[in-house]
Amino acid sequence: MEDVKPQLLKVTIDGIEVEVEPGTTILQAARKIGPAVAPPAMCYYQPLKGSGGKCRACLVRVAAGSAKDPRPMPKLVASCLTAVQDGMIVENETSPQVIDARNGIVEFLLLNHPLDCPVCDQAGECDLQNFAFDHGKATTRYEEDRRTFEKRDIGPYIQLHMTRCILCYRCVYTADQITNKRVHGVMNRGDASEISTYIEKAIDNDFSGNVIDVCPVGALTDKTYRFKNRVWFTKPVDAHRDCPTCSGKVTLWYRGEDVIRVTARKNEWNEVTEFICNTCRFDTKKTSDWTIEGPTKISRSSVISANKYRADTIKPSFGERLAAADYKPIHDERDTSQLSIQQLPAERFAKVLPSALEPEV
């Protein structure tokens, strides 16, 4: 019998057309194109069923609903939940409305999230840090008291620091979906909401450690690793072992000869590919426990790659764009050749910012 392939749907995101299968969300379609047009996601986590829609970081503008009904959608939509239609046109980075909304979301998320990246274990691997770098501002307009909590031990291996939590619900979904004894969830409501366990209970089951991996910020941290190192000083290595509980496929994080942390492997969107058990994560930290596969592939623009490659191979595209956006020709009487700085030619930014070539009005 001949295989019947589902008819592919054409969707255009930021001017780039891509064909996807029915049921694909805008976010997944954008990820198929690549990081340049993929909306940020703080709560959506592909391996977790039902996640997404909460942080609103991935809002996009649907400029045309479909080929049949090309009307734009009245509001920005959460790309992680909205399925694509054939002929849909989506604006992500190209829409000032989207960028404005995302700036707002960063600001909201940072109202109560402390900027203690220098002492946070998640620094360098933090989704919020990246999101804030891309869409945030250097200053805040918030001058009220911030919400603070005492740190809480919620098990032998995990520490909860609610002060940093952004209520993405990922850990709740993880506990719900991959463990058999969920004892934690969200209590209270509004900005008084907090992740908590059921009356002083500990999170204690074979897969509990995965809540650490899914946390996009530093609210849930690994007590066996806390304050031991900075991620950019470590060397990630793929390894596996014969584990009766999970797949045993992990990333080992080396400092010198020592394995200082074990995590599940993650894809380029920072999502766990296979959840691992607590034995692999917390109890097997000798090289002899593992079969080493080789260095983990890390994006060279990631901070984890810092100091590991030649400087000239790292191309931070965002920094370039930022510089281009801020660039303004100097029109004054000075003879710039006499100055110690050289004015950069506008052509240099033509690729990333065509408006740089236009004369200033």
Partner 1 sequence: MATKILTEHINVPGIETFDVYRKQGGYTAVEKAIKTMTPEAIVEEVKKAGVRGRGGAGFPMGMKWSFLAKPEGIPRYLVCNADESEPGTFKDHYLMKNIPHLLIEGMIISSFALGANKSFIYVRGELMYVIHILEKAIAEAKAKGFLGKNILGSGYDLELVVQPGGGAYICGEETALLESLEGKRGNPRNKPPFPAVKGLYQSPTVVNNVESIATTSWIVNHGGDAYAAIGIGRSTGTKLISASGHINKPGVYEIDLGVPVEDFIYADEWCGGIRPGHKFKALVAGGSSVPILPANLALTLANGEKRLMSYESLSDGGFATGTMLGSGGFIVFDETSCIVRNTWNFSRFYHHESCGQCSPCREGTGWMEKVLHRIEYGHGHQQDIDLLVDVAKKIEGNTICPLGDAAAWPVASAIRHFREEFQWHIDHPTEATQPGAVYRGEMALV
Closest among 58, 57, 55 to 167, alpha carbons compared: 55
Binding-site member from 139, 188, 337, 340 for partner 1 (CB under 8 A): 188
Q: Is 76 in the site for partner 1 (CB under 8 A)?
A: yes
DSSP-derived letter for residue 83 is: B
Q: Is 101 in the site for partner 1 (CB under 8 A)?
A: yes
Binding-site member from 193, 205, 302, 305 for partner 1 (CB under 8 A): 193
Output the DSSP codes for 317-344. Answer: HHHHHHHHHH-----SSS-GGGSSS-PP
Residues 6 or more apart whose Cβ sits within 8 Å of residue 69 = none
The counts of H helices and E strands in the chain are 7, 14
Q: Is 191 in the site for partner 1 (CB under 8 A)?
A: yes
Q: Is 107 in the site for partner 1 (CB under 8 A)?
A: yes
Integer Cα distance of 126 and 136 in angstroms: 14
Integer Cα distance of 324 and 352 in angstroms: 7
Rounded to the nearest angstrom, the gap between the alpha carbon of residue 361 and the centroid of all alpha carbons in its chain is: 38
CB of 157 to partner 1, least distance (A): 27
CB of 113 to partner 1, least distance (A): 9
Contact yes or no for 317/246 (Cβ under 8 A): no
* Ramachandran quadrant class, 26 (left: phi over 0; alpha: psi -120 to 50; beta: rest): alpha
Nearer to partner 1, 39 or 52 (CB): 52
Binding-site member from 11, 13, 105, 162 for partner 1 (CB under 8 A): 105
CB of 142 to partner 1, least distance (A): 7
Residues 6 or more apart whose Cβ sits within 8 Å of residue 293 = 237, 238, 239, 240
Q: Where are the alpha helices (DSSP H) in the chain?
A: 26-33, 96-111, 127-135, 170-178, 210-214, 278, 317-326
DSSP-derived letter for residue 143 is: -
Q: Is 49 in the site for partner 1 (CB under 8 A)?
A: no
Q: Is 189 in the site for partner 1 (CB under 8 A)?
A: yes
Binding-site member from 1, 5, 119, 144 for partner 1 (CB under 8 A): 144
Among the listed ranges 109-117, 154-162, 222-230, 304-312, the one in contact with partner 1 (CB under 8 A) is: 109-117
Sign of CA dihedral 198, 174, 237, 246: positive
Q: Is 108 in the site for partner 1 (CB under 8 A)?
A: yes
CB of 92 to partner 1, least distance (A): 15
CB of 246 to partner 1, least distance (A): 29
Among the listed ranges 63-71, 114-122, 188-196, 300-308, the one in contact with partner 1 (CB under 8 A) is: 188-196
CB of 225 to partner 1, least distance (A): 28
Among the listed ranges 22-30, 187-195, 288-296, 312-320, the one in contact with partner 1 (CB under 8 A) is: 187-195
Q: Is 112 in the site for partner 1 (CB under 8 A)?
A: yes
User: What six digits make up the tokens of 192?
Assistant: 């008084």
Which residues make up the interface to partner 1 (CB under 8 A)? 42, 52-57, 59, 75-76, 78, 81, 100-101, 104-105, 107-109, 111-112, 141-142, 144, 166-167, 169, 185-186, 188-193
